[in-house]
Amino acid sequence: MSPYQRIPNGFTLLEVLFVLTLLSVVLVLLPPINVDVIAKQQEKQFIETFQFDVLYVQNMSNLITNEEVFIRLYKDNYKILRGSSETIAERTYPPGLVIDPRGNADISFNTSGTFIYPRTIRITTKNNDYNAVFQLGKGRFYIAER
């Protein structure tokens, strides 16, 4: 083998441009799919957290007799309150989520664990609509997709 003979050990410019083109097409198509999946996951996690918070307030109302524990719904968040001023937790709504409390913005229970003001609360998201149903005379509630 002569010292002037070339050994092919690299890629041609055409091969590199082809790979970069394929990679750019894949990167352009993937982010919109991921953003939609992330938004749906945030909605699902919010609904689950809301369910757990309602159950927490119901259990606390059974345990604490001298102060009221309740959830107050606001435009962009809700708070779990104890008494008139102590905030136990504050949860911010995901983007695009709207809660319509249908009159009373408080979710509260009496000492036996039943709802003080039973009703249906509408939760609207970008992808789905939900109804949180608080039944009359019962301590159970459920969230149904509309």
- The domain segmentation of the chain, as residue ranges, is 55-146
pTM for the whole structure: 0.76
Q: What proportion of the chain, given as a percentage, has pLDDT over 90?
A: 54
List of the chain residues with pLDDT < 70: 1-8
Q: Determine the CATH number of domain 55-146.
A: 3.55.40.10
Query: Which residues pair with residue 106 across a beta bridge?
Result: 72
Contact 125, 43 (CB under 8 A): yes
